[in-house]
Structures are given as C-alpha cells and as structure tokens.
Chains A and B, each alone.
Chain A
Amino acid sequence: EDKVVQSPLSLVVHEGDTVTLNCSYEVTNFRSLLWYKQEKKAPTFLFMLTSSGIEKKSGRLSSILDKKELSSILNITATQTGDSAIYLCAVKQGFMGSSGDKLTFGTGTRLAVRP
C-alpha cells in the first residue's frame, strides 16, 4: 500500500525559530514530491521536487528531496506567526498507459508559531 508519513504531527515554536518538517514515502512509480501549506482554506502549492539533492528555495522556506532515503524536508527559518498552518507533503505517482498522475498525501504537520 502506498504510504506518505509526515513528522512531527504537530509543532509549537516561537517567532524567529527555525523548524524542519519531515516527509517519508513508500510508493510505486514515484514521479515527484510536493509540499503544500494549508491555513483555513484550500492547500496552496509551495514546492515540487523531482531530483534528489537539489534544494528549492522561496524566501524563508526551502526544501530538498533524498530519493535514496525516500524522504524530504521542509525548512522554515526565522518563523513568523503567519507561518502557522498545516504543511502537507504529497507524492505524485505516474502510471504506465495512463495520461494522469495520482497524488497521495501525508496527514500533515500542524505548525503553530507563537509571538
């Protein structure tokens, strides 16, 4: 069975702290790994990682994929209260003979940043 596991399940930090969120996966036909941020509404896209060892950055957020370890991390530096959200990891799988991809999500990490 395809599986995406995130840790920790929840995290409380203070503004200015750095956090590292983890995602590990066991899936067939891996294509890419995606990170989303979900506040009170729909998930919003952060990163898509396809190649191992190449860091992607967007402001204070960065992420990297390790295909050997079947995992990825999402780092947030100098956290702000606006970073409080659920961070979702999803793995995209491709299927032979089909023109569609499938996304399997982890249960998410709930991050709370206190002032």
Chain B
Amino acid sequence: DGGITQSPKYLFRKEGQNVTLSCEQNLNHDAMYWYRQDPGQGLRLIYYSQIVNDFQKGDIAEGYSVSREKKESFPLTVTSAQKNPTAFYLCASSFRENYGYTFGSGTRLTVV
C-alpha cells in the first residue's frame, strides 16, 4: 500500500544534540512538507520541497535543516539551535501543489 512512513514514532534526545527525523513516501509525489504541531498552535510549516534537490523555508525554519536528495525521502534535522524542539512533527506529501496532502503518522520528539 502506498503511503508515508515516519520513524521513529517516539524519540527522546538530550538537550544540545542534533536529531534527524525520517520521512519516506512511495506515492510518487513530487512535493513534500514538514510541519510542527504544538498544543493549541495548529500546524506550522517548517520546510517544504516541490522537487528533488530543492527546498524552501516555511514559517519556522530556524533551528531546522532538511535535504531532498531522492524523491521518496525528505529527512528533517532538528539542530541544537532550535530553542524549543519538543513537539509533534508531521511529514506530508502531495502530487502537486494545491492538491490534498497525505500525512504520515508523526514523530513525537521529546528533548530532556
């Protein structure tokens, strides 16, 4: 079955460590997105990528980095520069812009 896989589901890290969240899709979608969800804040866009080897900052890109070397994969690195990294992170993809997104099941990151 086609879909988006985010791993791991839960992730714990010590403060000051970089951590990479995985996002893989087998839907043959061109566009991929990373969102952060905090209680009462809705979803906020971190980065997005419309095609391979290209990505753009969203509203809250500071402290995060991404790469898009393959169409299927869009990993997100949460760096030590991110002041408040504890959150629920959602990856999504779409066939093209303005189409509905397919979301992964999310990664809950806790930094202690």
Asked if A and B bind, the verdict is: no
Which residues of B approach A to under 8 Å, CB–CB?
Answer: none
Which residues of A approach B to under 8 Å, CB–CB?
Answer: none
